[in-house]
């Protein structure tokens, strides 16, 4: 079974631009969540989607948004990029997203904002 696929692996953007990251979950998984990983803040939850509905959102500004499509694929968008948005963005999928359902992570998208 193929794992979680994130594209692209690396991105370099300039302040003020916007970026879209893509995630394809494991086949059959309907829950997709996104995390931001930085050396200073560690792993922080961005949002979770199940069957195209956002069920939870982390404490991030409105510049961070996401969506999920009917085939469970997900995208996240960051508008008006800031230097502090430089991070590894990790997508994870699970069958249900509930508490005891482990997350399966992709290899991430490394975003650098200059």
Partner 1 sequence: AQSVTQLGSHVSVSEGALVLLRCNYSSSVPPYLFWYVQYPNQGLQLLLKYTSAATLVKGINGFEAEFKKSETSFHLTKPSAHMSDAAEYFCAVSDNRYKLSFGAGTTVTVRA
Contacts with partner 1 by CB under 8 A lie at 4, 6, 31, 33, 42-43, 45, 48, 50, 55-56, 58, 90, 92, 97-100, 102-108
**Dihedral sign from CA coordinates of 25, 40, 98, 79:** negative
- What the block records as the tokens of 29 is 């998984």
Name the residue nearer to partner 1 (CB basis): 3 or 16.
3
Name the residue nearer to partner 1 (CB basis): 14 or 100.
100
Q: Rounded to an integer, what distance in angstroms lies between the CA atom of residue 80 and that of residue 33?
A: 22
| Nearest approach, Cβ of residue 41 and partner 1 (Å) | 9
Q: Rounded to an integer, what distance in angstroms lies between the CA atom of residue 32 and that of residue 75?
A: 10
Name the residue nearer to partner 1 (CB basis): 9 or 15.
9
């Amino acid at each position: 079974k193929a794992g979680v696929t994130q594209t692209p692996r690396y991105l370099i953007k300039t302040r003020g631009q916007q970026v879209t990251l893509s995630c394809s979950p494991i086949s059959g998984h309907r829950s997709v969540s996104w995390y931001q990983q930085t050396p200073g803040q560690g792993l922080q939850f961005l949002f979770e989607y199940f069957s195209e509905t956002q069920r939870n959102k982390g404490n991030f500004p409105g510049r961070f948004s996401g969506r999920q499509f009917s085939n469970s694929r997900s995208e996240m968008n960051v508008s008006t990029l800031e230097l502090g948005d430089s991070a590894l963005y990790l997508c994870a999928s699970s069958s249900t997203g509930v508490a005891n359902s482990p997350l399966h992570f992709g290899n991430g998208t490394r975003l650098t904002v200059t």
